[in-house]
């Protein structure tokens, strides 16, 4: 087994600056092992003898595709179905019952990762709004996870948090070569658009939303980046719409235009 190359303090600081400039993410010193582990194979693939040499390749601007690969590797985070269930309970009890089924309902999953959040939302909307006009937009900075999200195909152990009646109604269990996996059914998949977007830059033209999920994203940003990102996101929230953030996050000192209605849940007046 080839020994993993070490990364110097200077090289690590170069990657810290790169990912901050691109995505607004602060990589602390404790993330050195993550950087070396995730990028080690790229050094080998590109014939780089050090992390500094690999960084020089990225910084040269000659291979934007490789820059996207590095960004994908450094920004991908763990997610799972029906994470932070109180948000889904709030949707079920407080938001969806008062919504007219003749009016469109749009949700934005702002850090969609490999799709579990967007599909969880879709199962709830499919259950409560049925054939009414609704849609979900899922965005992420990583093109690699978006490909997985569009497929809607997961290992069966990922289904542990999906309510059993949703699993039987909205998912297809793999057989034969697909045994041990499940596929979100095509009707739900067709209601979701997965798009590449960087929350730290100008957003694509995706319209306005009744509800935005921006969960477990801001923990990686400094205060100024948080303000910019939340303002950008809030501008796409309809009046009376809701913003969900992670339970460990807060908008205190970040945004005064949204009112808190429950822990980690905000409303645009």
Contact of 199 with 110, CB cutoff 8 Å: yes
Rg (CA), the chain: 20
Confidence class for position 1, pLDDT limits 50, 70, 90: very low
Domain tally, the chain:
2
Residue 186 in any domain: the answer is yes
Q: How far apart are CA 234 and CA 227, in angstroms?
A: 10
Residue 4: per-residue pLDDT? 62
| Residues annotated as part of the active site | 38, 140
Do 34 and 125 belong to one domain?
A: no
Of 54, 75, 96, which residue sits at a domain end?
75
On whether the CB atoms of residues 181 and 153 are closer than 8 A, the answer is: yes
CATH number at residue 29: 1.10.155.10
Same domain, 100 and 198: yes
Confidence bin at 175 (pLDDT 50/70/90): very high
**Crossing angle of helices 51-59/64-75, nearest 10°?**
120
The answer on 151 and 172 residing in a single domain is yes
CATH number, domain at 125?
3.40.50.150
In a domain, 42, yes or no: yes
Residue 171 falls within a domain, yes or no?
A: yes
Answer whether residue 34 is part of any domain: yes
Domain assignment present for residue 245? The answer is: yes
In whole angstroms, what is the distance from residue 133 CA to residue 105 CA? 7
- 71 and 89 both lie in a single domain: no
Residue 224: the pLDDT is: 93
The answer to whether residues 197 and 154 belong to one domain is yes
Q: Which residue has the tokens 């490909």?
A: 147
Q: Residue 2 falls within a domain, yes or no? A: no
d(CA 137, CA 76): 18
Residue 208 has pLDDT above 60, yes or no: yes
Say which residue, 205 or 102, is predicted with more confidence: 205
pLDDT tens-digit map of 130-145: 999 999 999 999 998 9
Please report whether residue 261 resides in a domain: yes
- Report pLDDT digits (tens) over 219-263: 889 999 999 999 999 999 999 999 999 998 999 999 999 999 999
Q: In the sheet where 181-184 sits, what is the strand order?
A: 153-155, 181-184, 171-173
| pLDDT mean over 70-75 | 86
Can you give the pLDDT at residue 98? Answer: 87
Asked if the model's pLDDT at residue 76 lies above 80, the reply is: no
Last residue of a domain, one of 75, 107, 133: 75
Q: CB within 8 A of 224, min separation 6: which ones?
A: none
Q: What is the pLDDT at residue 27?
A: 85
| Contact (CB, 8 A) for 233 and 206 | no
Phi first, then psi, for residue 264 (nearest 5°) are: 70, 15
Range of the domain at 132: 85-267
Q: What is the mean pLDDT of residues 5-14?
A: 91
* Digit-coded pLDDT (tens) for 109-163: 999 999 999 999 999 999 999 999 999 999 999 998 999 999 999 999 999 999 9
Residues 22, 57 within the same domain: yes
């Amino acid at each position: 087994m080839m020994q993993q190359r070490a990364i110097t303090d200077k090289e690590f600081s170069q990657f810290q600056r790169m990912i901050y400039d691109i995505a607004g993410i602060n990589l602390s010193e404790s993330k050195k092992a993550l950087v070396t582990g995730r990028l080690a194979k790229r050094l080998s693939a590109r014939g780089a003898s050090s992390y500094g040499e690999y960084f020089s390749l990225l910084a040269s601007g000659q291979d934007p595709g490789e820059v996207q690969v590095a960004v994908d590797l450094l920004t991908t985070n763990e997610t799972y179905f029906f994470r932070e269930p109180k948000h889904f309970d709030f949707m079920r009890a407080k938001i969806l019952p008062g919504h007219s089924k003749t009016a469109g309902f749009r949700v934005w999953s702002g850090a969609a990762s490999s799709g579990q959040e967007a599909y969880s939302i879709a199962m709830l909307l499919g259950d409560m709004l049925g054939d009414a006009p609704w849609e979900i937009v899922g965005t992420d900075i990583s093109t690699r996870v978006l490909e997985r999200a569009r497929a809607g195909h997961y290992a069966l152990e990922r289904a542990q948090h999906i309510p059993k009646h949703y699993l039987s109604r909205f998912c297809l269990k793999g057989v034969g070569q697909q045994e041990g996996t499940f596929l979100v059914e095509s009707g739900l998949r067709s209601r979701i658009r997965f798009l590449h977007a960087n929350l730290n830059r100008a957003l694509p033209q995706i319209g306005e939303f009744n509800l935005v999920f921006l969960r477990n994203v801001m923990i990686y940003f400094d205060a100024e980046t948080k303000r910019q990102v939340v303002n950008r996101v809030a501008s796409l929230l309809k009046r009376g719409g809701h913003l969900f953030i992670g339970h460990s996050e807060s908008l205190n000192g970040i945004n005064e235009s949204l009112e808190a209605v429950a822990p980690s849940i905000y409303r645009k007046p």
